Amino acid sequence: MDSKEVARALRACASAHKAAVLARFFKTGPGQYGEGDRFLGVVVPDQRRVAKQFAGISLADIDRLVRSPWHEERLTGLLILVDRHRRSEPGERLRLHRFYLQRTECVNNWDLVDLSAYFLVGPHVDPDRPVLLDRLARSSNLWERRIAVVATFHFIKQGVPGPTLLIADRLINDRHDLIHKAAGWMLREVGKRCSVQVLRDYLDKQADRMPRTTLRYAIERFPPSLRAEYLGVKS
């Protein structure tokens, strides 16, 4: 098994129509965030099936997939990497984490980030001293900034909101809509999985500063009257 066989398996379930739809959905036009990305037209369930089928390929072949110009090959490579990380011993997990961080330029669309970051980055961060997340949040690379905030989902699932609140603060003046959405998503999860009161305390301090998109995402689960109250701060 190798990366060429993975590529053939993906092409066997590709669709030109879906490729065109995905290219529009992931904003691949001139000046858009996914400019130049190329799609085969393979849906994620099929990519997961192929990733499972070729779970035993070498790390060198995973590298070839992750560096591919084709979006679905990159995502399939990342799905294999996530599964390999999940099944590995601590030393190997650390090696795979470093492998991922050395290839963040290939993790260059929001779905690639969202399906990999909290598995491959979050577990390797000290929640009391999230230096790596802070560095990524200050990056000029949009996708590294998104990795920083999405990786905090690892801690949210453990009931630990601190890293999310810290990174949301770091990104509060970010100008990109994809960062606004990711930060709001993680803040909403803080309220859902950690503490509504922690989220409300944070919003009481920061709602008037944060982008409206971030705020809207963060308060999605609030009762209508409370949502209106917070949105009134931004009106």
Give CA torsion, residues 106, 109, 111, 115, to 10 deg: 30
User: Average pLDDT of each block of 10 consecutive residues along the chain (235 residues)?
Assistant: 96 98 97 97 98 98 98 98 98 98 98 98 96 98 98 98 98 97 98 98 96 97 95 73
* pLDDT value at residue 235: 57
pLDDT of residue 1: 84
Dihedral (Cα; 89, 90, 93, 98), 10-degree rounding: -150
* Alpha carbons 234 and 78: distance in angstroms, whole number: 38
Specify the pLDDT at position 157: 97
- Six-digit token pair at 226? 């409370």
- Residue partners of 53: CB distance under 8 A and separation at least 6: 9
Q: What b-and-e string marks burial along 34-63, b requiring 16 or more CB atoms within 10 Å of the CB?
A: beebebbbbeeebbeebbeebeebeeebbb
Please, are residues 44 and 75 in contact by the beta-carbon 8 Å criterion?
A: yes
**DSSP secondary structure code for residue 194 in this structure:** I
* pTM, rounded to two decimals: 0.96
Task: Output phi, psi for 38, to 5 deg.
Answer: -120, 140
Burial of 94 (0-12, 13-18, 19+ CB in 10 A): middle
Backbone torsions φ then ψ of 116, nearest 5 degrees: -135, -35
